[in-house]
């Protein structure tokens, strides 16, 4: 199980980005959370099988929201991240 934390920058707030991220995560069997940050970015904590995670990361980089635009994604492997049993949109 791969565990990844991402900070996504660009036009990612107010465009349905978090909800579309949840749809992609549910489709791929990814668990975790997505939330808005005060600086206008979006943070994602995610866990899933390696092949699914590769696809998930690529879909995030391409922006799951048609109105969104991703300019930068900081990706960190976090093996000690808590285990999730679903994918949730917070704040």
Active site residue 18: yes
Find the catalytic residue in 5, 7, 11, 36. Answer: 36
Find the catalytic residue in 11, 18, 69, 91. Answer: 18
Active site residue 91: no
- Give the sheet arrangement for strand 69-77, strand by strand: 69-77, 2-11, 42-48, 31-36, 87-90
Which residues carry out catalysis? 18, 36
């Amino acid at each position: 199980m791969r565990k990844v934390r991402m900070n996504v920058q660009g036009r990612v707030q107010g465009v349905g980005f978090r909800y579309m991220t949840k749809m992609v995560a549910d489709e791929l069997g990814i668990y975790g959370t997505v939330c808005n940050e005060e600086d206008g970015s979006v943070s994602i904590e995610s866990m899933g099988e390696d092949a699914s995670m590769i696809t998930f990361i690529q879909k995030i980089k391409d922006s799951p929201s048609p109105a969104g635009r991703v300019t930068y994604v900081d990706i960190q492997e976090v093996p000690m991240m808590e285990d999730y049993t679903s994918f949730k949109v917070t704040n």
